[in-house]
Amino acid sequence: MRTQVVIIGSGPSGLLLGQLLGNAGIDNVVLDRVAKNYILGRVRAGVLEEGTVGLLKDASADMRMREEGLPHDGFSLAFDGRDHRIDLFALTGKRVMVYGQTELTRDLMDRREATGGVSIYEATNVMPHDFGGGRPYVTYEKDGVTHRIDCDFIAGCDGYHGISRKSVPERSIATFERTYPFGWLGVLADVPPVSHELIYANHPRGFALCSMRSASRSRYYIQCPLDEKVENWSDDCFYDELRRRLPTTHAQALVVGPSFEKSIAPLRSFVAEPMRFGSLFLVGDAAHIVPPTGAKGLNLAASDVHYLFEGLRDHYLDHTQTALDAYSERALRRVWKSVRFSWSMTTLMHRFPEGGDFGQKIQEAELDYLTHSDAAARSLAENYVGLPY
């Protein structure tokens, strides 16, 4: 088989890139090692920047999001028993869209199917070859048969554990990493959200986040030790701990109900540089991971897709290489700013085991500054709604 671009990975990065390329008449094949339903079973964050919303529109995959997504003009920072609203719209003229990544992935999959895009699921041993030379190709196995796809470019959209980054010789890639000494215990439940906007809470017992998927589905998180076990947390224990970390008005308003998903995720910052190796491009989680505080993971994947799509479109349609050659540099400049923001919001909001009372006081001083200085609030808001591409 031959195509123009092989896309490894059918997560949001791969599907969005595939749809933009397909709309521009650029042939592509998406390969994923797991089944479609497995991908749709993953629970991830759900706050979209305007840029991400715009890319979904460009991909003609925004119809359901426009109907079901919840535009948010602000969010709350809760600390010291009180709640302080960050008015995103007043500070930046922009808002964010609350719409689950699972739904967004489903919309992109449906659109791909409707437009005749080729996706091969349950493709094992996917392997990029010869991307340093002029004739790249990708091999994979399906039902015991080995297949080969010749192509011009390979987009490594296969997440942190994927094969694309691992295929690059170690001497050609630099990685930067920070792990955090805690995780997030999260639950999903069909109960109305405690507030119509998100609440990020800093509390001496640890961070808590009240988020949502819809007017009747809530997503709640609490900071927990890295070695915590989900089995140790009944729903009642979880809600009791969440209440303790929220200002009283919210704690009293919390509506509880059985969770249907409960999991613990570690927090990590990670960047691989560069993001291009000959005709192989790394995109999204394959190149970088951010802790979820600030909800930047999916949005960063979208901005990578934007830069790579521009490069490939100019290459095929205008026969110019400037944008493609600038991919890694342009993407990384934005990546590092989001890595910095996610790290700083994580540092601001969590209880660090080594931080002690001094650490807590410094956090409270910064929170006080953020909620009483227009300049500080604007900077937070500008990063939260998403820096320009």
211 lines the binding site for ligand PHB (CB under 6 A): yes
140 pairs with which residues across the strands?
147
Among 250, 288, 296, 306, the active-site one is 296
223 lines the binding site for ligand PHB (CB under 6 A): no
Assess contact for 386 and 50: CB atoms under 8 A: yes
C-beta closer to ligand APR: residue 109 or 256: 109
At 32, give phi and psi (nearest 5°).
-140, 145
Alpha helices in the chain (DSSP H): 12-23, 36-40, 50-58, 63-68, 88-92, 101-114, 163-166, 235-244, 248-253, 297-313, 322-325, 327-349, 356-372, 374-385
Q: How far apart, in Å, do the first and last CA atoms of the chain sit?
A: 35
Among 99, 180, 200, 316, the active-site one is 200
Q: What is the largest CA-CA distance in the chain?
A: 64
Of these partners, ligand APR, ligand PHB, none, which one is at the site of residue 214 (CB under 5 to 8 Å by kind)?
none
Which of 70, 98, 301, 308 is in the footprint of ligand APR by CB under 6 A? 301
Selected range binding ligand APR among 59-67, 160-168, 259-267, 365-373, rule: CB under 6 A: 160-168
Assess contact for 210 and 246: CB atoms under 8 A: yes
C-beta closer to ligand APR: residue 10 or 223: 10
Of these partners, ligand APR, ligand PHB, none, which one is at the site of residue 298 (CB under 5 to 8 Å by kind)?
ligand APR
Task: Give, as ranges, the residues between 365 and 384 that touch ligand APR (CB under 6 A).
Answer: none
**CA distance readout (Å), 54 to 10, 49, 58, 106, 310:** 20, 9, 6, 17, 14
Query: Least separation, in Å, of the C-beta of 40 and ligand PHB?
Result: 16
- Give yes or no: 200 in active site: yes
Cα of 150 vs its chain's centroid, Å = 30
Which helix (H) or strand (E) segment is 76 a member of?
strand 74-79
- Strands across the sheet with 74-79, in order? 82-87, 74-79, 199-201, 208-214, 217-224, 174-189, 259-273, 288-289
Query: Least separation, in Å, of the C-beta of 292 and ligand PHB?
Result: 4
Which of 12, 14, 46, 159 is in the footprint of ligand PHB by CB under 6 A? 46
Which of 33, 111, 165, 219 is in the footprint of ligand PHB by CB under 6 A? 219
Which of 45, 65, 91, 208 is in the footprint of ligand PHB by CB under 6 A? 45
C-beta closer to ligand PHB: residue 239 or 307: 239
Which of 5, 17, 21, 157 is in the footprint of ligand APR by CB under 6 A? 157
Task: Give, as ranges, the residues between 27 and 56 that touch ligand APR (CB under 6 A).
Answer: 31-34, 39, 44-45
Of these partners, ligand APR, ligand PHB, none, which one is at the site of residue 297 (CB under 5 to 8 Å by kind)?
ligand APR
Assess contact for 102 and 44: CB atoms under 8 A: yes
- Give yes or no: 196 in active site: no
Assess contact for 96 and 47: CB atoms under 8 A: yes
Which x/- pattern, by CB under 6 A, does the window 98-127 give for ligand APR? ---x------------------------x-
Assess contact for 157 and 286: CB atoms under 8 A: yes
Query: Least separation, in Å, of the C-beta of 114 and ligand APR?
Result: 20
Amino acid type, 83: D
Of these partners, ligand APR, ligand PHB, none, which one is at the site of residue 108 (CB under 5 to 8 Å by kind)?
none
- Strands across the sheet with 276-277, in order? 118-120, 28-31, 5-8, 153-156, 280-282, 276-277
Task: Give, as ranges, the residues between 281 and 320 that touch ligand PHB (CB under 6 A).
Answer: 292-295
C-beta closer to ligand PHB: residue 96 or 324: 96
Among 99, 292, 316, 327, the active-site one is 292
How buried is 55 (Cβ within 10 angstroms: 0-12 exposed, 13-18 middle, 19+ buried)?
A: buried
- Give yes or no: 128 in active site: no
Residues that bind ligand PHB (CB under 6 A): 45-47, 198, 209, 211, 219, 292-295
Binding residues (CB under 6 A) for ligand APR: these are 8-14, 31-34, 39, 44-45, 101, 126, 157-159, 161-163, 284-285, 297-298, 301
Active-site annotation, residues: 72, 200, 292, 296, 384
